[in-house]
Structure 1
Amino acid sequence: MEALAVRLSGLDPHVEGAIRVVTFYDTLMRRRVDLAALARASAGLAECVVGVRLGGTGRAIRLSPEGMDASGPQAPASSTAPVTLDDEEIGTVWLERPGPPNPLDEVLLDRLAIAAAAAVERYGPARTTMADPALVELAISADSEEAARARALRLLGFAADLPVRVVAVRARLPLDRIGGLICPARPVKAAPLAGVGVLLATTVDRSAFPAGVRAGIGAAGSPDRSWREARTALRFATAGRPVVPYDELGALALLAQVPQDAVRDNPDVAAVAALADDPEGLETLDAYCSTGSLRRAADLLHLHHSSVARRIEHLGKGMDIDLTGPSGLIRARLALTAWRLLDD
C-alpha cells in the first residue's frame, strides 16, 4: 500500500495523504470502535471540531481535536457528508473547520461516514451505549491491574485524559435509555453487573434521570473508587431523594461501614424498625426528618401542621425520643437512615 502511495503521489500530491486517511479508518473499523471513539479520533486527525448526528435517535456528538466535548454553540459546518446504511440516510457527519477546507476533508468525511455506518450496524442505534459487562467489570474492579483497567477504558471508548464517573442504578428502564438521557453528547457506556445497572460517563446531568430511577453517583477519578462510592450512594437513595451523589453524603457515608448487627442492636434503629408496620407513622417521620419543620412536613404530607404535630408527639413517645428538640431530630434522622441501609 505504501509503495503504491509513493508511486501515485508523483502523479497527484494528495494521493498519498488520501491513502493514509483510508488506512486510518480501516484500522478504526477493525478495532470496532463506537461512535464516540470514532468522532474523537476523527477530530484529532482533522485538527478541527468533528460532529456526528444520527437521525433515528437525534443523538449528536461534537468533539474537539483535544478529544473533549466541543464547548459553545455549533459553528457552521465547513463540510458535510451523509451516513448511509442499506441505501437509507441515517445521519450526518461534518467538520467545523475555520477558514477554507483542507484538500483531504472530502476523503476524511467519506471514510468517517462509512465507519459511522459500520458502528451503527454493529451496535445498533438503541444499543450504542451498551457494553460488554466483562469489559465494564474490568474497568471498575478494585482487583484489576492499572494497565488492564486503562486498556478496558480505551476499548470502551474513553480517552486516557478524560475523567470517568461511575453511576450505580436500579431501574426498570433500559440502561441505554438512562445513559442517553444523563450524558447525551459525550462518551457513556452501560452494562448490568451483580444485579445493579452500571453507567460509565464523562459527565452526569443529575436533573435528567427519569422518574422511577434510583441512582448513586461516584466522584470522577479512579473508576474502581468511583464504583465503590456509587454503590454506597445508591444505598442512601429513597423515593424522596432518588439520586444521591456520594460527595454530598459527607459523614453520613460512614453509616454504610457500620456492621449490620450493631445497627440492628441500636435502640433508636429498633424503634424505627418497629414502625415498618405503620406506613402512616413511617411516612410522617420521614417527612419530618427530611424537612426539619412541622409546617414543611405538613405541606409535604398535605395535612394541617397541628395534625402533624400530634403524630410527631405520638411517635416521639413510642420511640422514647424528644423529636421536637435538635438532638432528638438528629437521632431520628440517623436512625431512619441506618435502618434503610439494613440488608441493602
Structure 2
Amino acid sequence: MEALAVRLSGLDAYAEGAIRVVAFYDTLMRRRVDLPALARASAGLAECVAGIRLHGTGRALRVAPDGGLPADPSTPGAGSAPGFAPGFAPGSAPGFAPGSPPVPITLDEEEVGEVWLERPGPPLLLDTVVLERLAIAAATVVERYGPARTTMADPALVELVISSGGDQAATARALRLLGFAPDVPVEVVAVRSRLPLHRIGALVCPAGPVKAATVGDVGVLLTTGVDEDRFPADSRAGIGAADSPERSWRQARTALRFTTPHRPVVHHARLGALALLAQVPPAVARDDADVAAIAALAGNAGDLATLDAYCATGSQRRAAQLLHLHHSSVARRLEQIGKTLGIELTEPAGLVRASVALTTWRLLADRDG
C-alpha cells in the first residue's frame, strides 16, 4: 500500500492522500480496534471532532482531536474522557459543517448507524474519503464486537426455510443460524413496499426476533410475532399462520394477492373460503361474465374506486367517507355501475356477487403482472 502511494504521489496529490487514508484505516483494522479507539484515531487524523452513532443504542460517540470528549450543549460541563453522549444529534453540534453530512454505517445491506466529522470551517478535500473509510471500519467493528443486531438475513438461508419439499433438519438448522430458538413457531410475512425491508421488519416486529430478505420480487419477513397495525401506509403485506414456514410462506403469498388500497394487510386465516378464489384457473376466471365486466370497468379509475370502496365497506355512506364524496354522488355512481355490470348492487346477493367478481379480477390481474 505504501509503495502504491509513493507511485501515485507523482501523479495526483489527492490520490496520494486518499491512498494514505485507506492505508491508515487498514492498519486500524489489522489492530482490531474497538469503536472508541476508532473514533479517537479518526479525530486525530481529521484534526476535528469525529462522531459515531449506532441506531440500536441511540447513543453517539464523539471524540475531539486530543482524544477527549468535546463540549456538547445538551451535556454542559462534560468530562474530558471520550464516551457516549445520549441523544446527541450530529447535525446540531456547534460548527458542524453542512457540506459534510453523516455517512451511514451499513451492515448486511442495513443501515445500523452513521459517522460524521464536526469541522468548524468548510470541509476539506479528503473529508469524504475519511468518512467513507470510517463508516466501513465502523461496520467491521460492529460486526466483530456488536452490539448491533441486524434485521437483514442471507437470502439463501431464508429461501431454504420457506422452500417447499425442504429437508426438515436443514430447515431447523437454517432457523438456528438465523437466530430463532428451536420449537418456537415462526410465521412468514410477504411484503411489497417502497420502504427498505429492514425498516419495515423493525417497525412491525418490535417485541421479537425478525429476519428479512428479498426472494424474487417479494420481501420476506420471518418472525415470531407481527403487529399488523404498525405497517407503513404505502406497504402491502400478507401474513401466514405460524404452522410450518413452508406452509406459512404459501399462505402469505396468497394473502398478499388479496390486499387492496382499503385492506393493505391481509392475514390468510381471515380469508376463509375466499382463499379458494386464488386457485381458480386463469382461463376459467377470464371466461366468467362478471369478471369480464369488471375488467371492462377497470378502464374507468373513478368507477373502479367507487365499486372497490363500496365492496370494502358494504355501505354507501361509508364508501362516500372513504372517497371524500357526498353519499348521494356515490349512490348515483353505484346505480350506473350496477347497470353496466348487470348486477343489483343494493341487494345483498348483488354486493356479494360484485365483491367476488372484483376480487377474482384482482387476483387475475396480479397473476398476469
Q: Could you state the TM-score of these two structures normalised by the residue count of structure 2?
A: 0.61
TM-aligned CA distance change 1:325 to 1:201, over 3 Å: same
Deviations 1:212-231 (A, max 9, x none): 11000111120000000000
Gaps of 5+ in 2: 1-52, 59-81, 87-138
Answer yes or no: is the 8 Å Cα contact 2:255–2:266 preserved in 1: yes
Equivalent runs, 1:175-194 vs 2, <5 Å: 175-194=197-216
**Which residue is equivalent to 1:21?**
none
**Which residue is equivalent to 1:30?**
none
For the residues of structure 2 that align with 1:123 and 1:262, how far apart are their CA atoms? 58
Match of 2:246 among 208, 216, 224: 224
1:184 CA displacement: 1.9
**Which residue is equivalent to 1:330?**
352
Match of 2:301 among 279, 282, 286: 279
Identical pairs, percent: 67
For the residues of structure 1 that align with 2:313 and 2:263, how far apart are their CA atoms? 12
The structure with the largest alpha-carbon Rg is: 2
**Aligned partner letter, 2:259:** A
Match of 2:226 among 200, 204, 225: 204
**Which residue is equivalent to 1:56?**
55
TM-aligned CA distance change 1:122 to 1:327, over 3 Å: farther
Gaps of 5+ in 1: 1-53, 60-86, 92-116
Answer yes or no: is the 8 Å Cα contact 2:235–2:264 preserved in 1: yes
For the residues of structure 1 that align with 2:340 and 2:145, how far apart are their CA atoms? 57
Match of 2:183 among 147, 156, 161: 161
**Which residue is equivalent to 1:148?**
170
1:300 CA displacement: 1.8
For the residues of structure 1 that align with 2:141 and 2:238, how far apart are their CA atoms? 30
State the structure with bigger RCO (CA 8 A, min sep 6), 1 or 2: 1
Aligned length in residues: 239
1:125 CA displacement: 7.6
**Aligned partner letter, 1:280:** G
Deviations 1:314-340 (A, max 9, x none): 111111111111111100000011101
Does residue 132 of structure 1 match 2:154?
yes
For the residues of structure 1 that align with 2:141 and 2:315, how far apart are their CA atoms? 54
TM-aligned CA distance change 1:142 to 1:89, over 3 Å: farther
TM-aligned CA distance change 1:229 to 1:90, over 3 Å: farther
**Which residue is equivalent to 2:79?**
none
Aligned-residue RMSD, C-alpha: 2.4
1:122 CA displacement: 4.9
Answer yes or no: is the 8 Å Cα contact 1:127–1:176 preserved in 2: no
Answer yes or no: is the 8 Å Cα contact 1:217–1:229 preserved in 2: yes
**Aligned partner letter, 1:195:** D
